[in-house]
Each structure stands twice: as C-alpha cells, then as structure tokens.
Amino acid sequence: MIEVNYQDPRAIYEQLVDKYEILIATGVFKKDERLPSVRSIASKLSVNPNTVQKAFSILEDNGYIYSVKGKGSFVAEPSSLRKDRIRKWQETLSDLIAEAIKLGFSREDCINEVATIYDKEGRKK
C-alpha cells in the first residue's frame, strides 16, 4: 500500500506524510483505526525507523493522528485533514491552470479538458 519512490526528489519522511495524509483523507484508514507500527513500516520499507517516526510526529503535530502510550498511533477526526488536502489540491490546480494560460488555453479549453479527464477517471472507479 505504501511505497517509497527513490526517484522522488522529496525526502522519504515527506513522501510518507503525503501518502498517509491521502490514505486518511480518502477514508482508507478510518477514524480511531490503528496505524501500522513504526517498527513494521520501517522494516517493510527497509528505511530508518527515525524517518518513519519523524513522519508520524509531523502527522501528529498537524492533528491528523494521535498516539496512545504503549498502544500506537490512531487516526484522528479527518475533517481538518480533508480541508487541508483540498486546499493543497486547489493550489496545485491553480499552478496548472496558470501554466495552461501561458500555453494559450482559453477558459473554455480548460473546462473541456477538465471535463474529459473527470469522465475518464470517473469511469475507472
């Protein structure tokens, strides 16, 4: 489910934060569900446990997960995470649209393009 991409320029902990955010925001991990342990993730991905710990600390600082001493980390109420992810998505989208404008796309072109992609992706689901 989680993989580390060695071609990705981002640090491994950033990739982990991103992947877990998506998994929580999209409801793969439900509220109050226990996340895999730091040890098992580190072992499975062959990465430094400190890296996984760092990713978990960031998720916890942002309020997306909470930890119970001796029991592990659990998924917190996901609504704020969903809001944050939507904001991030909007930022990415506005970068892409700015680029489309530079490439000479009209408003119409952009909307058509988005509609086509939406239909295509929607069909996969």
Partner 1 sequence: MIEIKNLCKSYNGVMALNNVTMDINDDDIFGLIGTNGAGKSTLLRIISGVIKQDSGEVLVDGESVFENPSAKEKLCFISDSDMFPQNSTPASMSEICRAVYKDFDQTRFEFMSNKLGMGKNSNIRNYSKGMKRQLKLLLALSSGAKYILCDEAFDGLDPVIRQTVKSIMAEEVYDRKIVPVIASHNLREIEDISGRIGLLHKGSVLLSEQLEDIKFQSQKFQVVLQDVSQEATISSLIHPISIDRSGSLFTVIARGQRDGIKKAVNSLDPVFFEFLPLTLEEIFITETEACGYDLRKIFA
Question: Of the two residues 10 and 88, which places its CB atom closer to partner 1 in the complex?
Answer: 10
Give the whole-angstrom CA distance, residue 11 versus residue 27: 25
| Beta carbon nearer to partner 1, 39 or 88 | 39
The least distance separating partner 1 from the CB of residue 58, rounded to whole angstroms, comes to 12
C-beta of 48 vs 106, nearer to partner 1: 48
Question: Minimal distance in Å, beta carbon 115 to partner 1?
Answer: 30
Least distance CB 43 / partner 1 (angstroms)? 5
Name the minimum Å distance from CB 63 to partner 1.
23
Q: Which residues bind partner 1 (CB under 8 A)?
A: 4, 6, 9-12, 38-39, 42-44, 46-51
